[in-house]
Structure 1
Amino acid sequence: MKIVVASANPVKLRAAELGYARMFPDHAVTSEGLSVPSGVADQPLTDAETLEGARNRAQGVAALRPDADLCFGVEGGIEDEGGEMTAFAWVVALGRDPQGRPL
């Protein structure tokens, strides 16, 4: 299986590799990280904007690497919840599982 992460960040790439290995321990994986734009603000300020950024990144990397089995978009965001700032991330996966079924 080939996975591609929409990030040049080695921590995000390693997280995708470890997540894949945990979900599919009997399948070998190769991985690649590519920098692609999110199409949202550099620092998303809402849950919806953060999800949109992750989705845009996953779709962008899927367009660049159509041979990939899984494409991941990762986007971190913050949101003001009643005067308290919350930091979080969205991860969007596009592709198919080791049996070829769409995710």
Structure 2
Amino acid sequence: MDILIGSKNPTKVDAVKKVFPNVDVKAVNVPSLVSEQPFSDEETREGAINRAKNCLTDHSGALSIGLEGGVMYVDGQLFLCNWGALITAEGKTHTASGARIALPSIIDQQLKQGVELGVIMDEYAKKQGVRNKEGAIGIFTNELVSRQSMFEHVVMLLKGQWEYNQNH
């Protein structure tokens, strides 16, 4: 069995490899077809589904996974959110969401000005490539939760749904 992951971002690819350790995982650079910075649960979920679907354009017979990070509001407070989608070779789609954490108001202000979260986080943390390493969740949890481990949890939810549906 092969698994296609709709991103070459190392945190996403490594999350899939960790949850599916004995499977050939191939990273495919595909578009999410949503805005560069998704601003709702719905848009972030749609981006994950689109990434999984777009993996299958040139490949068939494989599982495909799309992972997407975004932000969303709850009672006026901005939160980090993330979604994943797994599409089977037969076309069945499973989706799942993971951890959420409130973001500081300074982040909210910059996002509203059109700056993407990855760019903001590099400046905020005074680091390079935060989106490819610890992610915003790593910064704001004092690295107790990394971007990879957050996506691993989402991939576990997807894998569990897929396995359950194979047996029922």
TM range (shorter): 0.7 to 0.9
Q: How many residues align?
A: 92
Shift of 1:88: 1.2
SS of match in other structure, 2:26: strand
More strand by share: 1
Give the aligned partner of residue 13 of structure 1.
Answer: 13
Amino acid corresponding to residue 6 of structure 1 in structure 2: G
SS of match in other structure, 1:52: helix
Bigger mean CA deviation after superposition, 46-55 or 80-89: 80-89
- Please give the root-mean-square deviation of Cα atoms over the aligned residues, in Å: 1.7
Q: Structure 1 residue 33 and structure 2 residue 21: aligned? A: no
SS of match in other structure, 2:56: helix
> Which structure 2 segments of 5+ residues have no match?
90-161
Q: Structure 1 residue 45 and structure 2 residue 69: aligned? A: no
TM-score when scaled to structure 1?
Answer: 0.80
CA distance in 2, matches of 1:34, 1:11: 14
Q: Structure 1 residue 95 and structure 2 residue 85: aligned? A: no
CA distance in 2, matches of 1:19, 1:89: 17
> Which structure 1 segments of 5+ residues have no match?
22-27
Shift of 1:36: 0.6
Give the aligned partner of residue 67 of structure 1.
Answer: 61
Give the aligned partner of residue 106 of structure 2.
Answer: none
Shift of 1:9: 0.9
For residues 24-43 of structure 1, give each alpha carbon's deviation from its aligned partner in whole angstroms, at most 9, with x where no partner exists.
xxxx3111101111111100
More helix by share: 2
Give the aligned partner of residue 76 of structure 2.
Answer: 83
TM-score when scaled to structure 2?
Answer: 0.51
Q: Which has the higher contact order (CA 8 A, sep 6+)?
A: 1
Identity fraction in percent: 34
Amino acid corresponding to residue 59 of structure 2 in structure 1: R
Runs of 4+ in 1 over 6 A off after TM superposition: none
